[in-house]
Amino acid sequence: MSILRRRKGTENKKTEPEYEEFKEKKSLRKLKGRGRWSCVDGCCWFVGCICCIWWLLLFLYNAMPASFPQYVTEAITGPLPDPPGVKLAKEGLRAKHPVVFVPGIVTGGLELWEGHQCAEGLFRKRLWGGTFGELYKRPLCWVEHMSLDNETGLDPSGIRIRPVSGLVAADYFAPGYFVWAVLIANLARIGYEEKNMYMAAYDWRISFQNTEVRDQTLSRIKSNIELMVASSGGKKVVIIPHSMGVLYFLHFMKWVEAPAPMGGGGGSDWCAKHLKAVMNIGGPFLGVPKAVSGLFSAEAKDIAAARSMAPSFLENEMFNFQTLQHVMRMTRTWDSTMSMIPKGGDTIWGGLDWSPEEGHECNEKKPKNNSTQTSESDRTRKSANATRVKYGRLISFGKHVANLHSSEIERIDFRDALKGKSHANSTCRDVWTEYHDMGIGGVKAVADYKVYTAGSVLDLLHFVAPKLMKRGSAHFSYGIADDLDDKKYEHYKYWSNPLETKLPNAPGMEIFSMYGVGIPTERAYVYKLSPGGDCYIPFQIDTSAEGGSESPCLKGGVFHIDGDETVPILSAGYMCVKGWRGKTRFNPSGIHTFIREYNHAPPANLLEGRGTQSGAHVDIMGNFALIEDIIRVAAGATGEDLRGDQVYSGIFKWSERIKLKL
């Protein structure tokens, strides 16, 4: 014992140089023992940096006064217009028809009701929406709880996350970032309150029919609408869906009429009795190309730019961050994302050598001298260049492939390619995705096919994500019906596709499509193979692909078209312009349809916040003109009272190019 004490004492009596050497060796042993940062450390560090910036901005936001004195603001911006609610209240408008809000994907809050040990203390705390505090405190635990079962698309064992209820479910997405709050506040100005406003919150992660199977959400919406009609003296309801909520309510209108047990048993006249108007905001009726890039490589334009500039933050194996892999693993369990895959195939979105938007000219920067004169040669050059954009090619492997005529492209069919198991299955552990079952041969086969249209992209997704698409195929469909009277279209998988279902028999109802225009919106992508290792996502948007002055629609590997930054005009407008206009096979009762486009104008300065004339996909919820239209209809106006269509884009011309049997 004494010997041990002497040795211990001797060890502690080191000279200063020896002690410094000892500390250095100890630090090296510690680093060697860890080998590299753990995935938790990597995710925490990356997400923590983002959240620190967010909290700093939030602190500065909260440190500002709730509102500047009006004379200060007006001295800078000029006289401020009255908010729509105040303006219309002065005109004498009052609350009349009850209103129902249907939020879209990701904007509704989700809270924890049951979880694993790592989620201790989070009962009924928001895991989605609000401050997102748990995201950076325990990121892997958060991913585990936000993910659904990969086989059923429902709750994993021991986890229950449910939608927040009430208007607070989606009034704000995060502190200071409004979604429905501005519209709610303006409706309150003419007398609305919670008894005649209802937020139809639902778990936006799961398939539409499963919201009924698991939570009876569709039944609750039906009951609430019936109660609102009864308690308002028989006044019909105005429905206001946003984004994916548009598709969700399409599904609801078929469900509520269909007989039980698949449907709600309301009968064929339920919508006619209960609905005055459906005012769709930013509706992806025919899907969005962004859904394809999200499912294929967990990317959109902004993520692709971050991935190219700072790949180590998103998927570096050295530090084991692998954020994109975690995002892909989680979001591929969310069946709702498959509702927004482009519908209608090449008939709607175009083929290898044509598209409805052919000839679209992307806005270029104006000359500094503001000259309005353009030479004839410049006009000819711009027109010729515009026609070269082949928007029908949703995915092209290589910029040169995106521009070639289809006869010049050598393609090898990927559908029968042999997939080889990758040894990554044992090394990637908790970031495993279905790509790790493809092997090198499968990845190469996808790239060798070169070009994918809206038709072939479905086969692509079935090839790279078979589990995802197997679940999705049971709940969603993307085709065009030949015969809508065929009994197969009574199945719920068709109900959210406007090309495979009929509108309800409600000739007195009105349908509006309201969306922003004037913002470059993702339409097609240039891809390349990723240079990473086994645990990488093997495909990524090629952000080096630039069109320059010759093809200004191509920026950062993304071909842009007119839209609201998320939904292209074609998807938001076609059904109300042509597919449902008048009596068609998709609209047999002749429900009146209207297009209301809102030309985007960004805020002039910081005091305007996100602006009152924005056409952006979410910011449009604060657009004064849109809010005024909604309030007028809720107070009793019709589409004709709003002067019918309001159009700034080429949607009518583009719709005429689509050869669809009506």
CB proximity list for 265: less than 8 A, separation 6 or greater: 258, 259
* Catalytic one of 171, 335, 564, 645: 564
Helix axes 456-464, 439-448, angle to 10 degrees: 170
Q: Are 614 and 623 in contact (CB under 8 A)?
A: yes
3-state secondary structure of 624: helix
Q: Are 597 and 647 in contact (CB under 8 A)?
A: yes
Q: Are 605 and 76 in contact (CB under 8 A)?
A: yes
* Catalytic one of 207, 243, 422, 571: 243
| CA 252 to centroid of chain Cα atoms | 20
Q: What is the DSSP annotation of 129-161?
A: STT-HHHHHSHHHHHHHH---TTTSSPPTT-EE
CA dist 35 → 38, 256, 314, 319, 325 (Å): 9, 58, 20, 10, 21
Tell me if residue 655 is catalytic. no
3-state secondary structure of 520: strand
CA dist 252 → 209, 218, 245, 610, 648 (Å): 9, 7, 10, 32, 31
Alpha-carbon span 136 to 157, nearest angstrom = 24
Tell me if residue 219 is catalytic. no
Output the six-digit token pair for 274. Answer: 């209960």
Q: Are 125 and 223 in contact (CB under 8 A)?
A: no
Tell me if residue 82 is catalytic. no
Cis ω for the linkage preceding 261 (within 30 of 0)? yes
Pairing outcome for strands 275-281 and 177-178:
unpaired
Q: What is the DSSP annotation of 384-415?
A: HHHHT--TT-SEEESHHHHHS-GGG------T
Q: Which residues pair with 489 in a beta bridge?
A: none
Cβ neighbours around 538 below 10 Å, total: 22
Handedness of CA 308, 314, 315, 319 (dihedral sign): positive
* Catalytic one of 560, 562, 617, 645: 617
Q: Determine the length of the chain.
A: 662
Output the six-digit token pair for 43. Answer: 């995710």
Alpha-carbon span 464 to 446, nearest angstrom = 9
Alpha-carbon span 241 to 200, nearest angstrom = 9
Output the six-digit token pair for 308. Answer: 């190219």
- Catalytic positions are 243, 564, 617
